[in-house]
Amino acid sequence: MKKVGMLFASILLLAGCNAPWASDSSGETGTENKDDQVTIEVMMFEGGFGSEWVKSSADAYMEQNENVSVEVIASPDIHQQLQTRFLSNDVPDLMVPGPSFDIMGVINDGKILGLDDYLEEDSYSGEEKWLDTFEQGQFNLKRDGKTLGIPTVFSSGYVWWYNEALFEENGWETPETWQDLYVLKDQAAEKEIPLFAVPGMHPGYYFNGIFIPLVERIGGKQAVLDAFNLKEGAWTSEAFAEAARESQKMVEEGLFLEGTFGLSHTEAQTLFFQNQALFATAGTWLEGEMSDIIPEDFKLRAMNQPIWEGSDAEFLAPVSTGWGGAWYVTEDSENKEETVQFLKFLSSSEEVKKMVESRGLASVVKNTEDAISSDALKSALTVMQEAEGSYAPTAINDSYPEMTNNMINIYQSLMLNEITPEEFTQRAEEFAAQVRDDSSIQKMEFSW
Amino acid sequence: MKRKGDRLALVFFLSPALFLYGLFVLYPSIQALWMSMYQWRGLGEKTWIGFGNYERMMSDAIFINAMKITGKYILFQVPLVLIISIGLALTIANLLKSRWLNTYRATVFFPYILPGVAIAMLWATIFNPVSGMLNGLLNAIGLEQYTTEWLGRTETAFGSVVFVNVWSMVGFYTVLILAAILNIPEELTEAAEIDGAGKWQKSFYIILPLLKDVLQVVIVFTLINTLKIFEMPQLLTSGGPNRSTEPISLYIYEQAFQNFNFGYASALGVIFLILIFIASMLTLRLTRGEKV
Amino acid sequence: MNRATRNLGSHLLLILCSLLILLPVLWVFINSLKPSAAILLEPFSLPTVPALDNYVRAWTDGGLGIGFLNSIFVTVITVFFIVIISAMAAYALSRKRFRFRIAIQNTFLTGLMLPTFLAMAPLFLLMNDLGLVNSHLGLIAVYVAYSLPFTIFMLIAFFNQIPHTLEEAATIDGCGPIKAFWKIMLPLAKPGLISAAIFNFVGIWNEYILALILLSDDPLKTLPVKLANIMMRQQYHTDWGALYAGIVLSFIPVVIFYLIFQRRLIEGSTAGAVKE
């Protein structure tokens, strides 16, 4: 009896807090530090770009500034952690929310700090204005005229990747027009290689990498813009109808790897790197994400989507909008000055160069292009430079995630031949109308 | 004085359970009713919209689809679990007094104790169209034409998820029914054997009617557990392709924790709660009715 | 011999079922010992050198180690409180006659039918208001609350079987109701309590959805959530080795537990339903 009572008491005592090994790493430490000690909490999405570069920059920063300690929490499900933190008003100082976080929601609630005043200040090196250290073309994460996000990682949109070595070896040409795809298909059939390995478990890869580009190639920029701006009838326009028919035809003609509609994207990409398909669609994170398994003789190169014969659409290159991948300082941060100072350090060309070298990423920070050592990324940069301009196929996802998810789902049905192209465009138009008629959703005006 | 002491004791015995249960189970369920009248994204303003969320539901094709899918799960899973667990229990009971009874019982029960998340991951690897065991085996025995993207195609995804659910549940009910069979007094079954009843006749006419009580429990349990399924569709298919495996539980989660429509998610919960009550009452009525 | 042939069909059927249960587990175990590329490209090859580093990565990088400790912590405390609190309530409901007994019993009965996800959003917001989101204490409290109905009914069945005479004797000896409960009833109901504990242990150890909603901080997550995170990570890495190893690792504790408590677990699971 006594024993049970003791156990009961000690368990109660123990249950009063979290498990002892879990408590010290979760945020509020540093109470025993000196008075001027500041802790900057960083929460970041960890995807194909990894997080090691931020962690090593944080270490370097802490060495230079002994009164500051920087804690980096990185995880692929950071959006869930962030949502909880925002709801309980226990926000980190600095964050990269990743693609699944409702960033527009917290921006609309005034939870994100406007950075324009800081951008007018000196940069970390003190040589020029902070603002002038960025390439202006990519630097546009603004809402109501306020700059909210600082992108440091530049990514192309979903381009097509291929193995140049394989093409050279067989004397194949990369397709100039969409119709060339079918020529290439017959050539590659002799080697029993289909054209595309795509992840059916994540249909967004071909919605963004094949469908929206196809619409742009057929109907031009305006067709995409009208649809994204939710103009009535835009999703049933001829460009969308044609692109939907073509999508289904591509499947019927056997352009896709067998089994591909049941794969996750790392699986599909692995098969691509095993030369079991000619193309994979992805952004510039592809090389970093798959670095462990890329064969040495694999010459990974990017190409823009081919043009549509008989259309006079602009030849644009896809870019990623980057809301999810940018840095944000929170309005409720208790250490705004120190956090901005750290962000200046993080986005200085020295630190970004290190990141570009170690993870092979291009950047929007000026004077870092030369640091790109990877041929794959150089080819992606060439795609951007050779195009007549850019467009952002993924932009609707930032503003209307629920609608985009629905669109992607029915696109999957289209590819599996479960609905007709007409049904697809009609349903898509209905989803667009739902958002258009819902006054609680803040509308975004897209223009490229 | 004794009465007062008794009453105090009652409070002592019941209050911890009532407090926890009331605060964490009943209160949120009632709170859902109130929250379902608001439009609220968790952050920022709460807006009173009356029955707006319920009106939205009536025209929400995804909600209606999720209800249909939930119904489909019940339609397939409950009878499957019932038939398979009765069959297995009767078969194992046949081996009475052999040392195999325990071995089989332990094996059949085994999946029930595994974490649902791990079961989902296990089967996701087996259904994998490229590296999975299933397609590999089909290829090995010359049935290439049956290989497919099990979880990626609408024709097969639902069946695959149901299969995994049944795989993970059936052991528990088998053991439950088996225990009831072994409780049947031997005289009853022996008498039947003397009368020359065959093995299956015996099962059908003697044993099954005696199992009515336990079968009623099994039906209610499978029904409730089928309504509760969450991790299998979430981890195996994310409810896809095109929501063909998405039960209502997953849609509520999506609305609450992905789209952060807390008000709408609560309204979905309320409607579903009402349906569960109707289903449970009907089941109890039907199974009880038979007995009378 | 006659008997053996008679049972041949039964044996065949049951062996087939056993294979269906054990083969997938075996296949995953074998693959967990292979490097990632071999898992995808040669799924049926045998490992040449066991790639034990898969297990190390799942344990450390995948966070299964910390998830394991968290799960033990949460499960042990939860089960302790479930059993104590349910036993107290079940004792009162089984032994005492009082005005609201039926009403209270029915209130708990409703809980058997309430799936946890129904009130997902309000529960989360309640926990948030109480400051119990991202807290093991909060998760434990919710686990105990949701496990009460089933456990109470299971234990009522046990208490009903204990003869009243023992307790009456104790009362005559001058024991108050609380003392009688501790000294007489609890020891007598011990087999029932152990069955309840084992049964709940498995349920809490495997619980996923509440932990997913209520714990989002990495250092706090329990094993099932960590495991699901490993699966999520495969979207950005190519570490299938760690994924397979993670599945096997999550099996090991329950399998050991099962081997030790198999009989009690099976009996405990059936007790509530069959004995009534």
Residue contact B43–A106, C-beta within 8 A: yes
CA–CA dist A444, A438 (Å, integer):
13
Q: A328-329 and A38-45 as β-strands: parallel, antiparallel, unpaired?
A: unpaired
pLDDT of residue A267: 82
CA distance B7 to chain A (A): 23
CA distance A372 to chain C (A): 22
Long-range contacts of B134-137 (CB under 8 A, 24+ apart): B135/A259, B136/C43, B136/C44
* Residue A96 φ then ψ, to 5°: -120, 105
- Over range C112-123, report the average pLDDT: 80
Residue contact B127–A262, C-beta within 8 A: yes
| Within-domain flag for A353 | yes
Does residue A326 sit in the same domain as residue A313?
Answer: no
Residue contact B29–C114, C-beta within 8 A: yes
Number of C-alpha atoms within 13 angstroms, CB side, residue C237?
Answer: 21
Question: Could you give the C-alpha distances from B82 to B87, B170, B217, C160, C269, in angstroms and in order?
Answer: 9, 8, 11, 29, 17
pLDDT band at C3 (very low <50, low <70, confident <90, very high): low
The answer on pLDDT for C242 being more than 70 is yes
pLDDT band at B192 (very low <50, low <70, confident <90, very high): low
Residue-by-residue pLDDT tens, chain A, 448 positions: 445 545 554 554 444 556 766 654 444 444 444 457 889 999 999 877 778 889 989 999 999 988 899 999 988 888 888 888 888 788 999 999 988 788 888 888 888 999 999 999 988 888 888 888 887 766 778 888 888 988 877 777 899 999 999 999 999 999 999 999 999 999 999 999 999 999 988 899 999 999 999 999 999 999 999 999 999 999 999 999 999 999 999 999 999 998 888 888 888 898 899 899 999 999 888 888 888 788 889 999 999 999 999 898 899 999 886 788 889 999 999 999 999 999 999 888 888 887 777 666 667 777 777 778 788 888 888 888 888 888 888 888 878 888 998 899 899 999 988 899 999 999 999 999 989 988 777 788 888 7
CA distance B43 to chain C (A): 11
Considering the domain B49-291 in this protein, what is its CATH number? 1.10.3720.10
Which of A7, A17, A18 is the best substitution to test chain C (most C C-beta atoms within 10 A)?
A18
Residue contact C237–A289, C-beta within 8 A: yes
Does residue A292 sit in the same domain as residue A310?
Answer: yes
| Within-domain flag for A16 | no
Q: Which residues of C touch B98 (CB under 8 A)?
A: 7
Of C74, C216, C237, the CB nearest to A81: C216
CA distance C259 to chain A (A): 27
Residue contact C125–B98, C-beta within 8 A: no
Radius of gyration, alpha carbons of chain B: 24
pLDDT digits (tens, 9 = 90+) for B216-259: 888 888 888 888 889 899 989 888 787 899 999 999 998 888 87
pLDDT of residue B290: 46
Residue contact A262–B152, C-beta within 8 A: yes
pLDDT band at B197 (very low <50, low <70, confident <90, very high): low
Of A23, A25, A77, the CB nearest to C232: A77
pLDDT of residue B266: 92
Of A16, A88, A264, the CB nearest to C137: A16
CA–CA dist B100, B91 (Å, integer):
12
CA–CA dist B140, B132 (Å, integer):
12
Of B20, B116, B263, the CB nearest to C206: B116
CA distance B130 to chain A (A): 7
CA distance A91 to chain B (A): 13
pLDDT of residue A136: 72
pLDDT of residue A29: 42
**Residue indicated by tokens 């709660």:** B273
Which of B13, B104, B182, B276 is the best substitution to test chain C (most C C-beta atoms within 10 A)?
B13
Does residue A148 sit in the same domain as residue A163?
Answer: no
Does residue A289 sit in the same domain as residue A176?
Answer: yes
Average pLDDT score, chain C: 85
The answer on pLDDT for C249 being more than 70 is yes
| Within-domain flag for A29 | no
pLDDT of residue A28: 44
CA–CA dist B230, B244 (Å, integer):
14
Tell me if chain B has a CB within 8 Å of the CB of C118: yes
**Nearest one of A234, B13, B244 to C178, comparing CA atoms:** B13
Q: Report how far Cα A347 is from the mean position of its chain's Cα atoms.
A: 18
Q: A142-143 and A146-147 as β-strands: parallel, antiparallel, unpaired?
A: antiparallel
pLDDT band at B3 (very low <50, low <70, confident <90, very high): low
pLDDT digits (tens, 9 = 90+) for B78-108: 999 999 999 999 889 888 777 788 889 899 9
pLDDT of residue A270: 85
pLDDT of residue C4: 58
Residue contact A73–C41, C-beta within 8 A: no
Question: Could you give the C-alpha distances from A365 to A217, A371, B30, B51, in angstroms and in order?
Answer: 30, 11, 53, 51
Q: A390-391 and A328-329 as β-strands: parallel, antiparallel, unpaired?
A: unpaired
- Over range C136-154, report the average pLDDT: 93
Q: Which residues of A touch B130 (CB under 8 A)?
A: 259, 263, 267, 271
**Nearest one of A200, A152, A177 to A322, comparing CA atoms:** A152
Does residue A284 sit in the same domain as residue A388?
Answer: yes
pLDDT of residue C273: 54
Q: Show the tokens assigned to B173.
A: 């009910």
Q: Which residues of C touch B91 (CB under 8 A)?
A: 10, 13-14
Residue of chain B with shortest Cα separation from A418: B154
Q: A280-282 and A300-303 as β-strands: parallel, antiparallel, unpaired?
A: unpaired
Q: Which residues of B touch A203 (CB under 8 A)?
A: 241
Q: Show the tokens assigned to C230.
A: 């490993």
Question: Could you give the C-alpha distances from C118 to A93, B65, C105, in angstroms and in order?
Answer: 34, 18, 21
- Cβ atoms of A276 and C20 within 8 Å: the answer is no
CA–CA dist A282, C45 (Å, integer):
31
CA distance B121 to chain C (A): 7
Q: Which residues of A touch B151 (CB under 8 A)?
A: 201, 262
Tell me if chain B has a CB within 8 Å of the CB of A108: yes
Average pLDDT score, chain B: 85
**ipTM topping 0.90:** no
* Residue A39 φ then ψ, to 5°: -110, 125
- What domain range is A137 assigned to? 36-155+322-367
Q: Which residues of A touch C70 (CB under 8 A)?
A: 19, 22
Q: Show the tokens assigned to A64.
A: 């230079």
Q: Where are the alpha helices (DSSP H) in B152-246?
A: 154-183, 186-194, 199-201, 208-210, 212-228, 231-236
- Cβ atoms of B124 and B181 within 8 Å: the answer is no
Long-range contacts of B36-39 (CB under 8 A, 24+ apart): B36/B263, B36/B264, B36/B266, B36/B267, B36/B269, B36/B270, B37/B263, B38/B262, B38/B263, B39/A440, B39/B261, B39/B263, B39/B264
| Within-domain flag for A140 | yes
pLDDT of residue B291: 39
CA distance C186 to chain A (A): 10
Of A11, A84, A264, the CB nearest to C216: A84
| Within-domain flag for A217 | yes
Residue contact C216–A17, C-beta within 8 A: no
| Within-domain flag for A4 | no
CA distance C257 to chain B (A): 9
Proportion of chain C above pLDDT 90, given as a percent: 35
Does residue A255 sit in the same domain as residue A385?
Answer: yes
CA–CA dist A347, A152 (Å, integer):
6
Strand arrangement, sheet containing A159-163: A280-282, A159-163, A300-303
Q: Report how far Cα B177 is from the mean position of its chain's Cα atoms.
A: 17
CA distance B134 to chain A (A): 13
* Residue C84 φ then ψ, to 5°: -60, -50
**Residue indicated by tokens 């924790």:** B257
Torsion of CA A196, A199, A205, A209, to 10 degrees: 0
| Host H or E run for residue C198 | helix C190-206
Query: Which residues 81-110 of chain B have a CB within 8 Å of chain A?
Result: none
Which of C77, C86, C88, C118 is the best substitution to test chain B (most B C-beta atoms within 10 A)?
C118
The answer on pLDDT for B289 being more than 80 is no
What domains can be seen in chain C, in order of their start residue? 53-274 (1.10.3720.10)
| Within-domain flag for A88 | yes
Q: Report how far Cα A357 is from the mean position of its chain's Cα atoms.
A: 20
SS3 content of chain A, % helix, strand, coil (to 5): 45, 10, 40
In chain B, where the domains are located: 49-291
Does residue A230 sit in the same domain as residue A338?
Answer: no
Does residue A332 sit in the same domain as residue A212?
Answer: no
| Within-domain flag for A76 | yes
CA–CA dist A128, A131 (Å, integer):
8
pLDDT of residue B260: 80
Which of C57, C60, C84, C136 is the best substitution to test chain A (most A C-beta atoms within 10 A)?
C136
Range in A78-87, A292-301, B118-127, B202-211 with the lowest mean pLDDT: B202-211
* Residue A279 φ then ψ, to 5°: -125, 145
Residue of chain B with shortest Cα separation from C261: B106
Does residue A289 sit in the same domain as residue A410?
Answer: yes
Question: What contacts B21, CB < 8 A, 6 or more positions away?
Answer: C107, C108, C111, C145, C148, C149
Does residue A341 sit in the same domain as residue A389?
Answer: no
Query: Which residues 202-241 of chain A have a CB within 8 Å of chain C?
Result: 202
Tell me if chain B has a CB within 8 Å of the CB of A269: no
Range in A121-130, B23-32, C161-170 with the lowest mean pLDDT: C161-170
Tell me if chain B has a CB within 8 Å of the CB of A80: yes
Proportion of chain B above pLDDT 90, given as a percent: 34
Type of residue found at C124: F
Q: Show the tokens assigned to C45.
A: 């090859």
Does residue A151 sit in the same domain as residue A216?
Answer: no
pLDDT of residue A2: 46
Sign of the Cα pseudo-torsion (B166, B152, B238, A412, in order): negative
Torsion of CA C245, C251, C255, C261, to 10 degrees: 150
**Nearest one of A411, A332, A325 to A361, comparing CA atoms:** A325
What does A178-230 look like in DSSP terms, one character per residue?
A: TTHHHHHHHHHHTTT--SB---TTSTHHHIIIIIHHHHHHHHHHHHHHHHHTT
Strands (E), chain B: 38-41, 43-48
Residue contact B240–A412, C-beta within 8 A: yes
Residue contact B151–A412, C-beta within 8 A: no
- Chain A: partners with 3+ C-beta pairs within 8 Å: B, C
CA distance C98 to chain A (A): 28
Number of structural domains found in chain A: 2
Q: In C, what residues contact A, Cβ < 8 A?
A: 36-37, 40-41, 66, 69-70, 73-74, 77, 80-81, 84, 125, 128, 131, 133-137, 140, 182-183, 216-220, 229, 232-239
Does residue A328 sit in the same domain as residue A422?
Answer: no
The answer on pLDDT for C71 being more than 70 is yes
Instruction: Decide which of A332, A349, A367 is a domain's last residue.
Output: A367
Residue contact B238–A201, C-beta within 8 A: yes
Question: Could you give the C-alpha distances from A375 to A221, B21, B82, C119, in angstroms and in order?
Answer: 29, 62, 60, 53
Q: Measured at the alpha carbon of residue C211, what is the angle toward residues C197 and B62, in degrees to the nearest 5?
A: 120
